[in-house]
Chains A and B, each alone.
Chain A
Amino acid sequence: MFLIKKLKDAVYPSKDYIFKEIIVDGKRINLIFNEVLTDSNSINKFILRKLTLLQNKKDLKDLESILPTSNLKIIEEKEILYYVNKGYVVILTDKIYACELKASIDRGVNTVDGELTITGPKDSFTENFNTNLGLIRKRIKTSDLKVYDMEIGKRSKTKVGVLYVEGIAKSKIYERIIEVLGRIDIDGIVDSSYLKTTLEGQKSLFPTIMMSERPDKSAMALLEGKVAILVDMSPYALILPSFFIDFFHTTDDYYQKSFNTTFIRLIRLIAFFIAIFTPALYISVTTHNYDFVPLPLLIMLKAGRTFVPFPAYVEAIFMIVCFEILKESDLRMSFASGSSISILGGLILGDAAVSAGIVSPIMIIVIAISSIAGLIFSSVELGNAIRIYKILLLLLGTLFGMYGVLIGSIYVFYKLFTLKIFGIPYTVPFIPLDKNEIKDTFIKGEEPIKKRNSFLTDNINRGKYK
Chain B
Amino acid sequence: MKKVIIILLVLLGASIFKVPEYRELNDIAIIEGVAVDYDGYNYRLYLREVIPIKGEQGIDYEYEYYEGVSSSVEEAYEEILSNTKKKLYLKRCKFLVTNMYSSDDIISILNINPKTIYHDTKKVYEVLKNL
> Chain A interface residue count: which class?
20 to 34
Best-buried of A302, A305, A395 by chain B (most CB within 10 Å): A302
Among B11, B24, B32, B92, contact of A399 (Cβ-Cβ < 8 Å): B11
Q: How far, in angstroms, from A303 to B25 measured CA to CA in the complex?
A: 9
Contact with A along B84-115 (1 / 0, CB 8 A): 00000101101000000000000000000000
Q: Does A417 contact B (CB under 8 A)?
A: no
Q: How far, in angstroms, from A291 to B28 measured CA to CA in the complex?
A: 13
Q: How far, in angstroms, from A360 to B32 measured CA to CA in the complex?
A: 24
Q: Is the CB of A306 within 8 A of B26?
A: yes
**A residues 288-332 in Cβ contact with B at 8 Å:** 288, 290-291, 295, 298-306, 308, 311-312
- Point out the residues of chain A lying under 8 angstroms from B28, CB to CB: 290, 302
- Point out the residues of chain B lying under 8 angstroms from A131, CB to CB: none
Chain B: residues with Cβ within 8 Å of the partner, total of: 23
Known: A303-B52, A303-B53, A306-B53. A298 touches B23 (CB 8 A): no
Q: Does A287 contact B (CB under 8 A)?
A: yes
Q: How far, in angstroms, from A311 to B19 measured CA to CA in the complex?
A: 13
| Interchain nearest-CB distance for B70 vs A (Å) | 27
Known: A299-B52, A400-B14. A286 touches B25 (CB 8 A): yes
- Point out the residues of chain B lying under 8 angstroms from A295, CB to CB: 30, 32, 92, 94
Q: Is the CB of A299 within 8 A of B21?
A: no
Contact with B along A386-416 (1 / 0, CB 8 A): 0000000001001111000000000000000
Known: A290-B89, A400-B18, A401-B21. A300 touches B52 (CB 8 A): yes
Which residue of chain A is the closest to B50 with respect to CB atoms?
A299
Contact with A along B46-88 (1 / 0, CB 8 A): 0000101110000100000000000000000000000000000
Q: Is the CB of A305 within 8 A of B23?
A: no
Q: Is the CB of B25 within 8 A of A287?
A: yes
Q: Is the CB of B21 within 8 A of A312?
A: no
Which residue of chain A is the closest to B61 with respect to CB atoms?
A299
Q: How far, in angstroms, from A287 to B28 measured CA to CA in the complex?
A: 9
Q: How far, in angstroms, from A63 to B25 measured CA to CA in the complex?
A: 87
Q: Does B22 contact A (CB under 8 A)?
A: yes
- Point out the residues of chain A lying under 8 angstroms from B54, CB to CB: 303-304, 306
- Point out the residues of chain B lying under 8 angstroms from A304, CB to CB: 54
Q: How far, in angstroms, from A311 to B22 measured CA to CA in the complex?
A: 10
Q: How far, in angstroms, from A5 to B22 measured CA to CA in the complex?
A: 78
Q: How far, in angstroms, from A401 to B54 measured CA to CA in the complex?
A: 26
Among A288, A298, A305, contact of B21 (Cβ-Cβ < 8 Å): A288
Contact with B along A257-289 (1 / 0, CB 8 A): 000000000000000000000000000001110
- Point out the residues of chain A lying under 8 angstroms from B89, CB to CB: 290
Q: Does B15 contact A (CB under 8 A)?
A: yes
Q: Is the CB of B30 within 8 A of A298?
A: yes
Q: How far, in angstroms, from A304 to B26 measured CA to CA in the complex?
A: 10
**A residues 85-126 in Cβ contact with B at 8 Å:** none
- Point out the residues of chain A lying under 8 angstroms from B30, CB to CB: 295, 298-299, 302
Q: Is the CB of B11 within 8 A of A395?
A: yes
Q: How far, in angstroms, from A302 to B21 measured CA to CA in the complex?
A: 18
Among A298, A300, A302, contact of B26 (Cβ-Cβ < 8 Å): A302
Q: Is the CB of A398 within 8 A of B22?
A: yes
| Interchain nearest-CB distance for B32 vs A (Å) | 8
Q: Is the CB of A305 within 8 A of B24?
A: yes
Q: Is the CB of A399 within 8 A of B19?
A: yes
Q: Is the CB of B25 within 8 A of A312?
A: yes
Q: How far, in angstroms, from A306 to B50 measured CA to CA in the complex?
A: 13
Q: Is the CB of A305 within 8 A of B22?
A: no
| Interchain nearest-CB distance for A279 vs B (Å) | 15
Q: How far, in angstroms, from A299 to B60 measured CA to CA in the complex?
A: 11
Q: How far, in angstroms, from A304 to B19 measured CA to CA in the complex?
A: 23
Q: How far, in angstroms, from A287 to B20 measured CA to CA in the complex?
A: 11
Q: How far, in angstroms, from A287 to B27 measured CA to CA in the complex?
A: 9
- Point out the residues of chain A lying under 8 angstroms from B18, CB to CB: 399-400
| Interchain nearest-CB distance for A233 vs B (Å) | 36
- Point out the residues of chain B lying under 8 angstroms from A311, CB to CB: 24
Q: Is the CB of A300 within 8 A of B59?
A: yes
| Interchain nearest-CB distance for A292 vs B (Å) | 11
Q: Is the CB of B92 within 8 A of A301?
A: no
Q: Is the CB of A399 within 8 A of B50?
A: no
Which residue of chain B is the closest to A401 with respect to CB atoms?
B21
Q: Which residue numbers of A lie inside 8 Å of B, CB to CB?
A: 286-288, 290-291, 295, 298-306, 308, 311-312, 395, 398-401
Please name 4 further chain A to chain B contacts, defined as beta carbons within 8 Å, in addition to the given A288-B22, A311-B24, sorted by A numbering. Answer: A287-B22, A287-B23, A287-B24, A299-B50
Smallest CB-CB A-B distances: 3 pairs: A303-B52, A399-B14, A302-B25
Could you jot down 8 A-B contacts, CB within 8 Å?
A286-B25, A290-B89, A295-B92, A303-B52, A303-B53, A306-B26, A399-B15, A401-B21
Q: Which residue numbers of B lie inside 8 Å of A, CB to CB?
A: 11, 14-15, 18-19, 21-26, 28, 30, 32, 50, 52-54, 59, 89, 91-92, 94
